[in-house]
Amino acid sequence: MKFIVHHTDGHARHGIIETAHGQVRTPAFMPVGTAGTVKAIYPEQLRSMGADMVLGNCYHLMLRPSAETIAKLGGLHAFMQWDGAILTDSGGFQVMSLAKLCTRTEEGVQFQSHIDGTEYMLTPERSIEIQSLLGADICMVLDECTAYPATLEQAQTSMQLSMRWAERCKTAFAKYNNKQNALFGIIQGGVYDALRCESAATLQAMGFDGYAFGGLAVGEGQAAMLGVLEATMPSLPQTCPRYLMGVGTPDDIVESVARGIDMFDCVMPSRAGRHGLAYTARGTVNLRNARHANDPRPLDENSPCAAANQYSRAYLHHLVKCGEYLASMLLTWNNLFFYQQLMAQLRTAIEQGQFAAFRDKFKQQQMKGDIAPF
């Protein structure tokens, strides 16, 4: 993997990540393909709207159909018919949040599947093996997502465990690496700046292809999240991609790009679509609300996305209220298109040295609300 920064504007960066499955333009938003698919959307739609990379979920795929099965079928790219890049998470977050019973030790995490109660042991070594079997372009180290809120002592203990696991992941990666994939370290430390900087320094001493921020957007609020980024970013190398995991809202993304983040992922746009919420240039539109029942306007007549410019709000409201599958499909299409368009606009603004102006205009537009006429 290679990362090249082509343009900077303040701390914001526009670049290219070179992977075995093509280029990833940054800033980049990765749609989340939990079980080998981004819900309610076709792979070719993702490509056409500008997505270069998707995220695969180690935890869900290890449970079914299993990493070994996917490997026998040609790897995750072939399995899900996606020819772009894939980043896989380590499975640690889902183990902590979804497993029926979960016991953490120095060795790893023993847990029961949320599906059928089968017992598994996820270690740093096994996590890397699974991600390698899947054929990920970018693998993530196994870490412990520090709970929020956490005391300084709790955050320190958790962070130090994650650092020991990261070192074991790096050793395992050297064994399984096919010289075409990359490994990212994950910075932990809660909302404590000193711990975050210590974590970043520890990971840099080990040497990774990129550096991610874990354990944020878990309830600490945007101001605290951005404060962590501001405190930690000077500790990171300029030559590696920076990834903010599980983030987030459009405003979170714009503000994080302003602080030097290159990569994002979040279930928010697809999950919101399945629950009747649409993202537009003028803010969110809740299609469950009765006031849309007789509204002939599209979501956004100026959007190039057919889901946004061809279907009336009244029709979308009707689909949502009836629980029709098409509601999820159209709104997920609209939302992911909006996110990809936002990333393209950010890249252009950085390239042209107009990031600050774009940032201000974006905030103003988002505050107008969906009732205002176009």
Q: What is the pLDDT along the chain (374 residues), one digit of tens a residue?
A: 999 999 999 999 999 999 999 999 999 999 999 999 999 999 999 999 999 999 999 999 999 999 999 999 999 999 999 999 999 999 988 887 887 788 999 999 999 998 999 999 999 999 999 999 999 999 999 999 888 999 999 999 999 999 999 999 999 999 998 778 999 999 999 999 999 999 999 999 999 999 999 999 999 999 999 999 999 999 999 999 999 999 999 999 999 999 999 999 999 999 999 999 999 999 999 999 999 999 999 999 999 999 999 999 999 999 999 999 999 999 999 999 999 999 999 999 999 999 999 999 999 999 886 654 43
The overall longest dimension of the chain from CA atoms, in Å, is: 61
How many CB atoms neighbour CB 1 within 10 A?
Answer: 19
C-beta separation of 208 from 185 below 8 A: yes
Q: How far apart are CA 307 and CA 329, in angstroms?
A: 9
Listed residue (54, 5, 30) closest to 350, CA to CA: 5
Q: How many CA atoms lie within 13 A of 43 on its CB side?
A: 17
Instruction: Count, in order, helices (H) and strands (E) of the chain.
Output: 15, 17
pTM, two decimals, is 0.97
- Bridge partners (DSSP) of residue 184 are 140, 210
State both tokens at 33: 């393909």
pLDDT at 374: 39
pLDDT at 100: 76
Enumerate the active-site residues: 89, 265
pLDDT at 370: 65
Listed residue (295, 290, 294, 316) closest to 305, CA to CA: 316
What is the residue type of 354? Answer: Q
Cis preceding linkage at 241, omega within 30:
no
What is the residue type of 341? Answer: Q
Q: How far apart are CA 324 and CA 307, in angstroms?
A: 15
pLDDT at 371: 55
pLDDT at 116: 93
First to last CA, the chain: 43
C-beta separation of 335 from 281 below 8 A: no
How many CB atoms neighbour CB 2 within 10 A?
Answer: 11
What is the residue type of 221? Answer: G
Q: How far apart are CA 154 and CA 140, in angstroms?
A: 23
Q: How far apart are CA 322 and CA 232, in angstroms?
A: 47
Q: How far apart are CA 337 and CA 103, in angstroms?
A: 40
State both tokens at 172: 């395992």
How many CB atoms neighbour CB 302 within 10 A?
Answer: 11
